Amino acid sequence: MNLQGDRFRVLIYSHDTFGLGHLRRCRAIAHALVERSPNISVLILSGSPIIGNFDFNPRVDFVRIPGVIKLRNGEYNSTSPQVDIDQTLAMRASIIRHTADIFNPSLFLVDKEPLGLRGEVRETLEMLKERGVPLVLGLRDILDDPAQLATEWKRKNVLPALSDLYDEIWVYGLPQICDPIADIDLPQSIRHKTIFTGYLERNAPEKPASVLAETPFDEPYLIVTPGGGGDGAAMVDWALRAYELEAAPPYPALIAFGPFMHPETRAEFARRAAKLDNVKTMTFDANIESLIQKAAGIVAMGGYNTFCEILSFDKPAILVPRTQPRREQIIRAQRAQDLGLVTMLEDDGVRDARVMATALRHLPQQAAPSDTVVPGLLDGLENVNRLAQRLTAQGASPVVSLASRQG
């Protein structure tokens, strides 16, 4: 293992084909590692086209690998029209492998995809395994409907990697909300290396770098956020139509479209919002935590990062989850509603504006997440730090769960 004297290096891989979820999760983990451990530095490998829009701690850096786009049919295209997908994937795999070779990490953390996009991380995993570098797979609380996930993992042939390459699997959630692999036929050896950390707590920066992070209203407001925005048009339209009613909700709204919402869709929403005195809009702010912290309530789709922010800032929330192409969001929203953490509005295709208006009217009086006691709910970053410190200092070894472990 590379100990660099008393300094440790953590390499994080995030495939980032779409949206903000993977990048923001990896960034939160990287910052927590360096802020609590002065002897650790982190390098993030990411395919996100907007990673440069975010601020990073001086001991956190990133390598931008060529981007790809996932199509509706499940296939991938290169974001560069001059380079075909096979060439792009070859470049990505080469950059990942050579970066890991030179960076020589003390710990390699892979986000969500056990073998990376189209297996691009396999050679890197094998190389680092031979060096004795601890290998960790990090999973969000819910990946998809278990039947769909089982089919996907079988098609990608990930079980040998889970069994033979990875030392630990960290689930950034709690089993009482969801165990993402509970209903998948896996060997006990894989279940025994699975650790539930709790959710990853978020904090607002003390001095937001962006002007947009300033309070947009002089009164309590609601924030409507579809995350990255690429698939959030229906939710934003539903909320906006509620404000277009004659009996509009009493609290003003800030709508954050997200950087990946289609430009024409975003422009049409902005045009409609401009006619309303109680609605303001913005495209994207890397410091959206500051805006969420100041809001009286949140309307969101139910992605992992937004859910962490709802819990962290203890905000009453309405979730309008998507059901395609994955059922991740609706499973999370249903489980959270059952526990009393949020309210869910299921998209019935009609999206009655009066239903949304009623929910928005009641949102600020809704119970806050902290009214429901869930032990270890936001212990994720603390436990990730403890797990990483042990692995970097001692190498891979049998583990005992720091939070609730099932199986």
What does the pLDDT look like over 85-113, one tens digit per residue? 889 899 999 999 999 999 999 999 999 99
Mean confidence (pLDDT) of the chain: 88
Q: In what order do the strands lie in the sheet with 279-282?
A: 279-282, 253-256, 222-225, 297-300, 317-319, 343-344
The domain ranges of the chain are 8-201+378-394, 211-371
Question: Which pLDDT score is estimated for 205?
Answer: 74
| Residues whose CB is less than 8 angstroms from the CB of residue 325 and which lie 6 or more positions away in sequence, other chains included | 72, 74
Please state whether beta strands 253-256 and 279-282 pair in parallel, antiparallel, or not at all (unpaired): parallel
Q: What was the pLDDT predicted at 166?
A: 98
Q: Are 110 and 135 in contact (CB under 8 A)?
A: yes
What percent of the chain shows pLDDT beyond 90? 66
CA distance 41 to 392: 12
pLDDT band at 71 (very low <50, low <70, confident <90, very high): low
Residue 32 near residue 381, CB atoms below 8 Å: yes
pLDDT digits (tens, 9 = 90+) for 323-354: 887 889 999 999 999 999 999 999 998 999 99
Tell me which of 403 and 365 has the higher pLDDT.
365
CA gap 163, 29 in Å, rounded: 24
Using the Cα atoms of residue 392, residue 394, residue 400 and residue 403 in order, give the sign of their dihedral.
negative
* Measured distance CA(161)–CA(338) in Å, rounded: 35
Q: Which residues are CB-contacts of 293 (< 8 A; sequence separation ≥ 6)?
A: 204, 313
146, 136, 203, 202: which is closest to 171 by C-alpha? 136
Please give the single-letter amino acid code of residue 223: I
Q: How confident is the model at residue 81 (pLDDT cuts 50, 70, 90)?
A: low
Can you give the pLDDT at residue 82? 72
Q: Write out pLDDT tens, residues 112-149.
A: 999 999 999 999 999 999 999 999 999 999 988 888 88
Q: Tens digits of per-residue pLDDT, 20-63?
A: 788 999 999 999 999 988 889 999 999 888 888 889 999 999 99
Assess whether the region 8-201+378-394 and the region 211-371 belong to the same CATH fold: yes
Could you tell me the fold of the domain covering 8-201+378-394? Rossmann fold (3.40.50)
- Highest averaged pLDDT of the listed ranges 161-175, 278-292, 389-403: 161-175
- For the stretch 211-240, pLDDT in tens is 444 667 888 999 999 988 888 999 999 999
At residue 1, the pLDDT reads 40
Neighbours of 207 (CB within 10 A): 7
Closest CA to 335 of 380, 302, 306: 302
pLDDT beyond 90 at 284:
no
Q: How confident is the model at residue 18 (pLDDT cuts 50, 70, 90)?
A: low
**CATH code, 211-371:** 3.40.50.2000
